[in-house]
């Protein structure tokens, strides 16, 4: 048979809180009830997520997760980011809820992916439906290789502390020899990890270092998304 459909059913503390968050990302309620059990169904085009409420549920203890395969992760991320900025005045990059930036995942065939951690603590893992044909990637430098490993730890496993540790070691060793592009990418991700660890002073220092990386015009064009991400991170910092 064809045209089957699967709808994730995920836990949350409050269906109203969930509906408000996903509403900012462009979802609409297609079903809502409070009794006998809290329940909400949310839809954005062909993407549907359903949630059930549990009054004593702790989002930080959630194991809720699902995979979402989409044609274009970059376009969907941009749409979510626009909605998040409009609703919250900034991207949410730390705590619960939050959203990561699209990055290649070495544990997923190098497909680009990003993650939403919603108010219920559910990890909505969004990947490209197909990596598609591509040219062989040039050999990665040591810092870029470590960054790929750190992304697996930080964005796939959720171990941002270990991701930060291995990236710090690589930055100390390779900061004078890595290419400007690799150095900027590593500093940008390390700053994001610092914010997840609630260390704004460290994030501010890393963003300052990233701003000092010498970039050519070609670098700036290639790294446009990363540079925009640095601006988003800076916007989340508290005033010094």
Taking only the tens place, the pLDDT of each residue in 73-104 is 999 999 999 999 999 999 999 999 999 999 87
Q: Check residues 139 and 233 and name the one with the higher pLDDT.
A: 233
pLDDT of residue 132: 56
* Alpha-carbon gap, residue 166 to 43, rounded angstroms: 39
Query: For position 240, what pLDDT does the model report?
Result: 65
- Express each pLDDT in 22-50 by its tens digit: 999 999 999 999 999 999 999 999 999 99
Measured CA to CA, the distance from residue 164 to residue 203 in angstroms comes to 12
Q: What is the three-state SS of 218-232?
A: HHHHHCHHHHHHHHH
The pLDDT assigned to 113 comes to 87
Q: What is the mean pLDDT of residues 139-165?
A: 91
3-state SS class at 16 = helix
In this prediction, residues 39-68 reach a mean pLDDT of: 95
Structure tokens that stand for 37 in this block: 């059990």
Rounded to 5°, the CA angle 82-182-69 comes to 45
If we measure between CA atoms, which residue out of 179, 239, 173, 189 comes closest to residue 213?
Answer: 179
pLDDT at position 41: 98
Q: What global pTM score does this model have? A: 0.88
Residue 21 contacts residue 116 (beta carbons within 8 Å): no
């Amino acid at each position: 048979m064809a045209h089957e459909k699967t709808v994730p059913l995920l836990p949350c503390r409050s269906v109203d809180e969930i509906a408000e968050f996903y509403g900012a990302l462009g979802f609409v309620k297609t079903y809502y009830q409070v009794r006998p059990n809290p329940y909400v169904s949310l839809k954005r085009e062909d993407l549907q997520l359903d949630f059930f409420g549990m009054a004593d549920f702790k989002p930080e203890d959630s194991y809720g997760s699902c995979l979402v395969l989409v044609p274009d992760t970059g376009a969907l991320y941009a749409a979510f980011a626009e909605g998040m900025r409009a609703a919250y005045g900034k991207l949410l990059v730390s705590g619960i809820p939050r959203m990561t930036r699209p990055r290649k995942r070495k544990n997923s065939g190098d497909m680009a992916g990003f993650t939403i951690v919603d108010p219920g603590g559910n990890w909505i893992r969004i990947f490209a439906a197909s990596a598609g044909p591509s040219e062989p990637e040039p050999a990665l430098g040591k810092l870029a290789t470590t960054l790929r490993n750190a992304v697996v730890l930080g964005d796939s496993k959720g171990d941002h502390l270990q991701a930060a540790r291995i990236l710090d070691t690589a930055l100390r060793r390779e900061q004078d020899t890595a290419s400007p592009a690799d150095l900027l990418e590593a500093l940008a991700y390390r700053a994001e990890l610092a914010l997840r660890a609630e260390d704004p002073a460290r994030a501010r220092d890393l963003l300052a270092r990233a701003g000092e990386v010498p970039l050519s015009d070609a670098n700036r064009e290639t790294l446009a998304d990363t540079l925009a991400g640095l601006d988003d991170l800076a916007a989340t910092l508290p005033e010094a």
